[in-house]
A and B are shown apart, each in its own frame.
Chain A
Amino acid sequence: MQSISEALGLALGLVISADADLFEIVRLSLYVSLSATVLACAFGLPLGALLATTRFRGRGVALVIVNALMGLPPVVVGLFVYLYLSRSGPLGFLGLLYTPTAMIIAQTLLITPIVAALSRQVLEDMDREYAEQFRSFALGWVQRVQALVWDGRYALLTVALAGFGRAVAEVGAVIIVGGNIDHLTRVMTTAIALETSKGELALALALGMVLMTLALVVNALVYSVRATATRSAYA
């Protein structure tokens, strides 16, 4: 219990002193996980919309697979990406291993199924709700999807946040493909793992507190954007 209060003090100290190493690590964490979230939405949302609004043979199997992939272990994703990006792997010539780009690729693979599966559920529920109106207006598929995505934008924002939360919290994938290199690929979670392995438990916990605060700030930002938008819409 003593180390928790010690960690709180350390965390405050790190933030107040504007520790340069900490800010570098925080910036890289945000860069990697936000990039992965944007990419995962770019791939996952269309996939989710397609699965939600179309009926085809094997759709049930596809849904089960996408849902199951939400449980992808980060370390397996990391290993998979490592084997591809390693100098001896098929994409080794790109020289991407141990770079932030490799970490973005891994996290994108990790959270695209989450974005796809959750947005599929959101859009399908709304599609069912709107079915009669869609029929009465005789809307085409494109207009239907547009209407669903626009009306479901706040729910989809929460979907994106779920993906971001998973990305920023995982350590298994980025430590394999990033290598936890100081000043190059060290992010919050790999720094926490490192301090834990050095037995600096209070410092590790302090970094964890900073990471939690970071997630809180990102969520608060998104919430305030949403609140402002809602206000202006009904003003």
Chain B
Amino acid sequence: MRLSTLLAAGLLFAMSSPLWAERSILVQSTTSTANSGLYDHILPIFAKATGITVNVVAVGTGQAIRNAQNCDGDVLLVHAKAAEEAFVQEGYGVSRADVMYNDFVFVGPPSDPAGIAGGSDAAVALTAIAETEALFVSRGDDSGTHKKEMALWASADIDPTGASGTWYRETGSGMGATLNVGVGMSGYVMTDRATWISFGNKGDFGIVVEGDPALFNQYGVILVNPSRCPSVKAEDGQAFIDWLVSADGQSAIGAYTRDGQQLFFPNAQ
């Protein structure tokens, strides 16, 4: 059979695929830390210091937490403090530590249909968007960013989901995909600053609202509970967490810049 010979040859050629590194852990992570290039900067430093390879699955915070609940990962690194604390409380995780923070910003088109540019109050901006029914593009995916956005709407006493499909558009996608949609249809988007700075398809969009303390964005790290999930590599996972909150890890995070701007601010206690 020539078909099988040919395909076997192709297989042999492709056989040398990468295997699991000898010491490695799996981190269920939010997308912003991966898409902004932070991991590309800090993980080689960690690997050099400890010999542990860190493999990252980057999904939204909601999905990352669900994957970790299914024991599919050793460490969880996300940004939704309430959900993280619930994760630990329900026994899925061992304990939670603050790692770093940055902030959320609103980005929008230069035409600024809701007239919110230059503002520094998220609730005021959202109220203006709702009143003018200016296009607003939401993640709509239960991610950390989406949870924060919903909390901000609640603080402005607005329920935008009733307008879903009209001026309020839920993409159900990641931050980058949602920014692509927002830029494409000239709608406002709430994004974490790290993703925005490193985003390559900004078009003519710029930051319109920033600096509200309510837009604070805290990242936390949790070891998946090894007594619930025997597959968890507790020792190496804890080594990664310890390093992240150590002086070395914190300074590696602080040293990462993009276009001369610092993306994440270490604040482990």
User: With the chains together, A183 CA to B17 CA distance in Å?
Assistant: 9
Verify if B58 is at the interface (C-beta below 8 Å from A): yes
Of A27, A198, A199, A218, which one neighbours B17 at CB under 8 angstroms?
Answer: A27
Check A191 for interface membership: any CB of B closer than 8 A: no
9-residue interface stretch from B1-9, B141-149, B239-247: B1-9
| Interface-side segment among B110-118, B129-137, B171-179 | B171-179
A interface residues, tally (CB under 8 Å): 43
Please report the C-alpha to C-alpha distance between residue A84 and residue B35 in the assembled complex, in whole angstroms: 29
> A86-B71, A86-B72 are contacts. A196–B17 as well, Cβ < 8 Å?
no
Query: Complex: how many Å from CA A34 to CA B1?
Result: 16
Chain B: CB-nearest residue to A226? B2
Task: With both chains docked as a complex, state the minimum distance between the C-beta of A88 and any C-beta of chain B, in angstroms.
Answer: 4
CB distance from A1 to the nearest CB of B (A): 15
Instruction: Give the CA-CA distance A41 to B2 in the complex, in Å.
Output: 13
B102 interfacial contact with A, CB 8 Å: no
Closest Cβ–Cβ distance, residue A198 to chain B (whole Å):
5
A19 to chain B, nearest CB (A): 15
Asked whether A75 is an interface residue with its Cβ less than 8 Å from the other chain, the reply is: no
* B57 located at the interface, meaning its Cβ lies under 8 Å from any Cβ of chain A in the complex: yes
- Most chain B CB within 10 A, of A182, A197, A222, is at A197
Per-residue CB proximity of A141-170 to B under 8 Å, as 1/0? Answer: 000000000000100110010000000000
- Is A199 a contact partner of B179 (Cβ separation < 8 A)? yes
Give Cα A194 to B176, complex, Å: 9
Q: Could you tell me if A31 and B200 are in contact, using CB atoms closer than 8 angstroms?
A: no
> What is the interface size of chain B, counting residues whose CB is below 8 A from a CB of the partner?
42
Whether A30 lies near B200 (C-beta < 8 A) is no
Within 195-237 of B, Cβ neighbours of A (below 8 Å) are at 198-202, 229, 231
Q: Does B161 contact A (CB under 8 A)?
A: no
Quick check: A153 and B200 within 8 Å, CB to CB?
no
In the complex, how many angstroms separate the beta carbon of B79 from the nearest chain A beta carbon?
17
Using known A-B contacts A34-B10, A88-B71, A156-B3, determine if residue A199 contacts B199 with beta carbons closer than 8 Å. Answer: yes
The closest CB in chain A to the CB of B180 belongs to A199
Given the interface pairs A198-B35, A198-B198, the reply to whether A181 lies near B55 with Cβ below 8 Å is yes
Among the listed B4, B11, B56, B175, which residue makes an inter-chain contact with A197, where contact means beta carbons less than 8 Å apart? Answer: B175
Report the separation of the CA atoms of residues A34 and B11 in the bound assembly, to the nearest whole angstrom: 7
Q: Are B11 and A35 in contact (CB under 8 A)?
A: yes
State the Cβ distance, B161 to closest chain A Cβ, in Å. 24
A31, closest chain B residue (CB): B14
Asked whether, in the complex, the Cβ of B14 is within 8 Å of the Cβ of A197, the reply is no
- A27-B71 contact given A37-B7, A197-B177, CB 8 Å threshold: no
Quick one: which of A165-193 are within 8 Å of B by CB?
179-184
Q: Do residues A180 and B57 form an inter-chain contact, with CB atoms below 8 A? A: yes
Knowing A86-B71, A87-B72, A222-B6, the reply to whether A199 touches B55 (Cβ < 8 A) is no
In the complex, are the beta carbons of B18 and A184 less than 8 A apart? yes
Contact indicator B18/A196 (Cβ below 8 Å) = no
A86 and B231 CA atoms in complex are apart in Å by 11
Chain A residue numbers with a CB within 8 Å of B15 are: 31
Kindly supply a per-residue 1/0 record for chain A positions 54-84, scoring 1 wherever the CB is within 8 Å of any chain B CB and 0 otherwise: 0000000000000000000000000000000
Q: Which residues of A lie under 8 Å from residue B56 when comparing CB positions?
A: 181-182
Q: Which residues of A contact B180 (CB under 8 A)?
A: 196-197, 199
B-chain residues with CB within 8 Å of residue A194 when the two chains form the complex: 35
Contacts of B50 in A (CB 8 A): none
A153 vs B2: C-alpha distance when bound (angstroms): 9
Q: A184-B20, A196-B177 given as contacts; is B231 within 8 A of A98 (CB)?
A: no
The yes or no answer to A12 lying at the interface (CB within 8 A) is no
- A221 close to B (CB within 8 Å): yes
Given contacts A87-B231, A184-B18, contact A197 B174 (CB under 8 A): yes
B71, closest chain A residue (CB):
A87
Nearest chain A CB to B73's CB is how many angstroms away?
A: 9
- B residues neighboring A (CB under 8 Å): 1-4, 6-8, 10-11, 13-18, 20, 26, 31, 35, 55-58, 67, 69-72, 173-177, 179-180, 198-202, 229, 231
Interface of A toward B, CB cutoff 8 Å:
24, 27-28, 30-31, 34-35, 37-38, 41, 86-89, 92, 95, 97-100, 153, 156-157, 160, 179-184, 194, 196-201, 203, 218, 221-222, 225, 229
Give 10 new A-B contacts, CB below 8 A, not counting A153-B1, A199-B180.
A86-B67, A87-B229, A87-B231, A88-B71, A95-B231, A182-B55, A196-B176, A198-B200, A199-B201, A199-B202
Complex A-B: 19 CB contacts under 8 Å = A28-B18, A34-B10, A34-B11, A38-B11, A41-B7, A89-B70, A92-B231, A95-B231, A153-B3, A179-B55, A181-B56, A182-B56, A196-B177, A197-B31, A197-B35, A197-B173, A197-B177, A201-B201, A221-B6
